[in-house]
Structure formats: C-alpha cells, structure tokens
Amino acid sequence: MRIPRSTSKSNRLQRFLNKGQRRDRLPWLDFALAGVFVVIFAVAAGSVHEAVFGISRTVDTPDNILLIELLDCSSDGRFSNGAAEQIEGLSDRSLEIEVVNRDRLHMTQKMSSFIIARSENKKAAEELARRLGLNPDDVVIRPLEHENGRLQASLVLGDDFDPVRLQKNPKEET
C-alpha cells in the first residue's frame, strides 16, 4: 500500500520551487538550444526581409532618357502614324527615346526638320539629332513656360524628313 504524500498547498509549492533548482540537463545543452533559436530567428528575419523588400537585381538602364514631343509639320501629314515607333526604335543603352506627345500642325509653307531643346542642357537633344541625321548645331533651346519639366525636347518633322533613313543604323554610316 502506498503512503500518500502530503497534499497541503505549502508542500506542493515547495516541491515546485525545488524542481527549478535541479539540473537534469547538461550546461552546454542550454547554449546549443539558444544558438538554434538564434539561427532560426535569423533565417526567418531574412526571409521576411526578402519578401518585403525583394531581391536586388542589376538591370541595365540607359544613361539618358529623353522624353520628346513629336510635331508633324509636313505638308501632307504623312508622319503622324508610324514615325513615333520608328524614332523610339533608335533607343539603345546610352539613350532611351520616349515619345510622350504627338501632334499634327498644319503649315502653309514647307518646313525643314529640327529639334527644340526644352532645357538648357541640350546634349541628349543633340544626340537625337545625330541619330536622325540632322545637324546637331541646329538644335534650338526654347524652354516651355508652363511645363512641369518632364518634356525635354520637341522634334519638328518637316517635309525633308526621311523615315527610310531611320531604318539604317546611324553609327554604321559614320
């Protein structure tokens, strides 16, 4: 027959407190468990960081992005449709050309093609002129009064503009 232990509250409390003083585990096991938890936390934090902020990838971005307005001033309006795609096709790694606005202007007299730079820095506009086969010295600087700074150049297409010339690579011709 078993002898029952004392069930008084003070004895139970004393046994509970004494359990915490016993050392059944080896001391290095505590350090090993703490290390495992640190590693698990670090891996989880890294996964959360990657999910939230993404993975950094190197993307080849162009050196310059030129936002242009295309103004068709030819006498018959023949450049209104396909010229924007052809001009954007001249983009490469050093200069990306993006047509942000197209317009058709009805002119009574024949005009030659030229570029209007919309900021004091006209390097990108001059490069566009070279790619189009126009004289870079003919680039005119005329800032817009009420523009938010997005538009960088206006390309005025006159009757002398030749879209066939765009299909050739200007760098190969020189």
Q: What is the pLDDT of residues 116-132, one digit of tens each?
A: 998 888 888 898 889 88
Structural tokens at position 21: 């003083």
Same domain, 127 and 50: no
Q: Which residue has the higher pLDDT, 22 or 166?
A: 166
Query: What is the number of structural domains in the chain?
Result: 2
pLDDT at 170 over 70: no
Same domain, 154 and 97: yes
Q: Average pLDDT of the chain? A: 77
Same domain, 30 and 76: no
Which of 12, 35, 57 is where one domain is finished? 57
pLDDT at 9 over 70: no
Kindly report, residue by residue over 94-107, the tens digit of the pLDDT: 888 888 888 888 87
Same domain, 42 and 122: no
Task: Give the residue ranges of DSSP H helices in 58-122.
Answer: 83-88
> Residue 7 domain-assigned?
no
Kindly report, residue by residue over 133-168, the tens digit of the pLDDT: 888 998 999 888 776 668 889 988 888 877 666 655
> Residue 17 domain-assigned?
no
pLDDT at 36 over 90: yes
Same domain, 75 and 149: yes
> Residue 20 domain-assigned?
no
Same domain, 94 and 144: yes
Same domain, 99 and 78: yes
Region at 133 (left for phi over 0; alpha for psi -120 to 50; beta for the rest): left
Same domain, 52 and 136: no
> Residue 110 domain-assigned?
yes
Work out the pLDDT band at 173, boundaries 50, 70, 90: very low
Which residue reads 């299909």 in tokens?
Answer: 167
Q: Which residue has the higher pLDDT, 7 or 172?
A: 7
* Domain encompassing residue 142: 64-173
In this structure, what are the phi and psi dihedrals at residue 170, rounded to the nearest 5 degrees? Answer: -60, -25
User: Which pLDDT value is given to residue 95?
Assistant: 84
Same domain, 40 and 79: no
Kindly report, residue by residue over 41-54, the tens digit of the pLDDT: 988 888 776 666 66
Q: The whole model's pTM is what?
A: 0.58
Same domain, 32 and 101: no
> Residue 43 domain-assigned?
yes
CA dist., res. 129 & res. 126, Å (int): 5
Compute the average pLDDT of residues 15-19: 63
| CATH number of the domain bearing residue 145 | 3.30.70
CA dist., res. 66 & res. 56, Å (int): 26
Which of 15, 42, 57 is where one domain is finished? 57
Same domain, 32 and 92: no
User: Which pLDDT value is given to residue 119?
Assistant: 83
